[in-house]
Amino acid sequence: MLAYIPWLIFLHTLSALMFFLSHGASVAMAFQIRKEKEFARIRAMLDLSGSMFVVMGISFLVLGVTGLVMPFILKIWDKGWVWTSIVLMIIVTVEMTLMSEKRYKLLRKLVGLPFMQGNKQFPAVPPASQQEVEAHIGKLRVEELVIVGIVIPVIVLWLMIFKPF
């Protein structure tokens, strides 16, 4: 079984790279959309961000599976850094899902795009007023996204490389 470890590390690292690359459209959108007022541009950015969802989801799934399989093969479930990494990644997943639900899925609805609530897809509804959309965009903060989406994964990377406990 140990012969599979280099391949699992390769797949784990590749899936992390693919996840962050595919997530780049969403990150760029999160920073840029706060400056936008035109519905057409907002819609285009939201659609571009959403277009990477399948690649992002598959890569995140592979990342998670490989990250959970390796401790079984290596018999390292007794290491604190393994459990800390798992807990931190669960926190990231839950927080990012909640942020997407409250921020960008709602914004899709407000600008008249098809949208999701939870896992249920809905057709487009008439767009909200310019003032409502601008008010919602005005409440969007990227600081939480940066902390949850960048700082915590960097901590997980540090844990995996340095294995401090």
Q: What is the pLDDT along the chain (165 residues), one digit of tens a residue?
A: 899 999 999 999 999 999 999 999 999 999 999 999 999 999 999 999 999 999 999 999 999 999 999 999 999 999 999 999 999 999 999 999 999 999 999 999 999 999 999 889 999 999 999 999 999 999 998 999 889 999 999 999 999 999 999
Question: Which residue, among 156, 27, 146, 143, has the nearest Cα to 89 in the 3D structure?
Answer: 156
157, HSE (Cβ side, Cα atoms, 13 Å): 9
Query: Which residues fall within 8 angstroms of residue 3, CB to CB, at 6 or more apart?
Result: none
The boundaries of the domain holding residue 93 are 2-162
User: Are 132 and 138 a contacting pair, CB within 8 Å?
Assistant: no
Extract the tokens encoding 82: 């393994």
Q: Number of structural domains, the chain?
A: 1
Global confidence as pTM: 0.88
User: Are 85 and 64 a contacting pair, CB within 8 Å?
Assistant: no
